[in-house]
Amino acid sequence: MLAALTLVSGVLAVTTRQIFRAAIFLLFSLIGIAGLYFWMQYDFIAAVQIVVYVGGITVLIIFSIFLTQQAGELLPKQKIGRQIFSALAVFCGFALTMLQLFQHSFKPTTGQPVLPIVANIGDRMLGVAEDGFALPFEVVSMLLLAALIGCIVIALRSKPATS
């Protein structure tokens, strides 16, 4: 059910010719994924998914759509040749991937599972030992800083473009 929701809205998101609807479908698709996370009992990640994607990125996208596009305007259609080729390539890729995935027998580990609860995550996130992720955390923070600077410079340019 969730899967169906995710996939159908995903397909619609990339095919609908109304950009605003595409954004909404994307939103549904993302929520569907969050649902899947919930269903797999990864609550934290589901929460993050909803907060960051639904609350952040999608909103960002919608804003940018407002900024750049008249809502309701139909998107230009892609050339049919391109569509066929893309579909073909994508289908091949999908087939190949599926084939390999199904041929491969995943052997689940026998180790003691670590519960994905917030406390554990927090521990690890700032740990510097074997299983710690403090360094990636720092790196990501640098990345976000850099992204911020980049966005500021690019988006807030002082002079408007001269046509």
Partner 1 sequence: MMEPGLNHILVISAALFFIGVFGFFTRRNLVTMLMSIELVLNSVNLNFIAFNKYVWPNKMDGLFFAIFVIAIAAAEAAVAIAIIINLYRSHHSIDVENAEEMKF
Partner 2 sequence: MNDFLQMPLLQILPAGKGSALALLLIPLLPFAGFLLLGIFGRKHIKSASGIIATTLLLVSAALSLYTAYGYFFDYGKVNGVYQKFIAVQYTWLQFSPGLSIDLGILLDPISVMMLVVVTFISLMVHIYSLGYMKGEERFATYYAFLGLFTFSMLGLIMASNLFQMYIFWELVGVSSFLLIGYYYNKPSAVAACKKAFIVTRFADLGFLIGILILSFHAETLDFNTLIERLTIDGNHELHTAYSSMFLGASALTWGAILIFIGGAGKSAMFPLHIWLPDAMEGPTPVSALIHAATMVVAGVYLVARMFPVFSMSAGAMHLVTLVGIFSALFAAIIACTQTDIKRVLAYSTMSQIGFMMFALGVSGSNLVEGSLDYTNLGAGYTASMFHLFTHAIFKALLFLGAGSVIHFIHSNDMKDMGGLRKYLPITHIAFLVACLAISGVPPFAGFFSKEEILLAAWQHNKMVYYVALFTSGLTAFYMFRLYFNIFWNKGAIVHGEHHGEGGFVMMLPLVLLAVGAATAGFIPFGNFITADGKPLEIEFHWQFSIAPVAVGLTGIFTAMWLYKSENNKPAAIASSWGGLYKAAYHKFYIDEVYLFITKKVLFNLVGRPAAWFDKNVVNGLVNMTGNTTLTISDKIKGFQSGKVQQYAIYFLAGVIGLAVLFIYIWK
Partner 3 sequence: MLNEFLILMKSELVLCCIIFLLLFIKVGTDMTNERMLPLVQVLLLVNVVASFIFNQEGTLFGGLFTTNLLMAFQKSILSIGIYLISLLFADWLKKSEHMPEFFMLMLSAVLGMFFMISSGSLLMFFLALELSTIPVAAMANFDLEKKLSSEAAMKMILSSAFSSGILLFGISLIYGATGTINFAEIPALLDGSPLQILAFVFLFTAFAFKLSIVPFHLWTADVYEGSPVAVTSFLSVISKGSIAFILLTTLYKVFAPMQEIWYNMVMLLSVITMIFGNLFALRQQNIKRFLAFSSIAQVGFILVGLSSNSSQGTASVVYFILIYIFSNLAAFGVAGAISQQTGKERIDDLKGLYQTNPFISWVLALALFSLAGIPPTAGFFGKLFLITAGASKGNYFFITVAALNLIVSLYYYLRIIRAVFMDKNDQPIEKIILLPSVKLGMLICGAGIILTGLLSWVYDYITSLTM
Q: Spell out the SS3 assignment of 112-139.
A: CCCCCCHHHHHHHHCCCCCCCCHHHHHH
What is the rounded CA–CA span in Å between residue 87 and residue 32?
24
- For the bound state, the minimum distance from the C-beta of residue 46 to partner 3, rounded and expressed in Å, comes to 18
Q: Check: CB of residue 2 under 8 Å from CB of residue 77.
A: no
Q: What is the Cα Rg of the chain in Å?
A: 21
Residue with tokens 């909404």: 24
Q: Exactly one of 70, 72, 76, 128 binds partner 1 (CB under 8 A); which one?
A: 76
- For the bound state, the minimum distance from the C-beta of residue 147 to partner 3, rounded and expressed in Å, comes to 6
**Contact string (CB under 8 A) for partner 3, positions 76-115, x = contact:** --------------------xx--xx-xx-x--x------
**Contact string (CB under 8 A) for partner 1, positions 50-69, x = contact:** --xx--xx--xx--xx-xxx
Instruction: Give residues in contact with partner 3 (CB under 8 A).
Output: 96-97, 100-101, 103-104, 106, 109, 128-136, 139-140, 142-143, 145-147, 149-154, 157-159, 161-162
